[in-house]
Amino acid sequence: MAKERTLSIVKPDATRRNLTEKINARFTARGLKIVAQKRLQLSRAEAEKFYAVHRERPFFSGLVTFMISGPVVVQVLEGENAIALNREIMGATDPAKAAPGTIRKDFAESIEANSVHGSDSAETAKREIAFFFPDI
Ligand code: GDP
């Protein structure tokens, strides 16, 4: 296994409920280091660009509106196998299908307001990290 970096986002439903520290504790407990982190408000144009891969999906417009409904915390997680490990810690997209002990099972409100984002491949991680952290 190689040391990797992945892009994580604490979504507006979670920042609204002050869950960032609890979510970060899930990452660090499993050996992921938070090597960069910032809280920001996405514009509609930024959210549309970030989720451009989903633009043809029926949930795209709702997803963008949700992602700009409050601040997000964007972060770079680093560790062995970080991309897959973070996906495991997050749990399935739909909290009803997420495994016990995962972030989405414990905190998500719905399939849309599901508390966290995590890159799904090495290629995506590279692009998503550059989107928010062009200098690291
Ligand atoms: P992820 O990689 O687990 O975040 O899932 P996807 O890349 O498939 O979807 C991106 C985001 O779109 C998800 O995290 C949800 O916030 C939202 N989403 C995905 N599927 C649905 C859906 O069927 N309905 C709605 N309303 N939102 C969805």
Q: Is 63 near ligand 1, meaning CB less than 6 Å away?
A: yes
Q: What tens digit of pLDDT does each residue of 61-120 get? A: 999 999 999 999 999 999 999 999 999 999 999 999 999 999 999 999 999 999 999 999
Say yes or no to pLDDT of 1 above 80: no
User: pLDDT value at position 34?
Assistant: 98
For residue 20, the SS3 value is helix
Our answer to whether residue 54 is catalytic in this structure is: no
User: pLDDT value at position 2?
Assistant: 87
Q: Name the pairing type of β-strands 3-10 and 72-80.
A: antiparallel
Global pTM reads: 0.98
Q: Is 112 near ligand 1, meaning CB less than 6 Å away?
A: yes
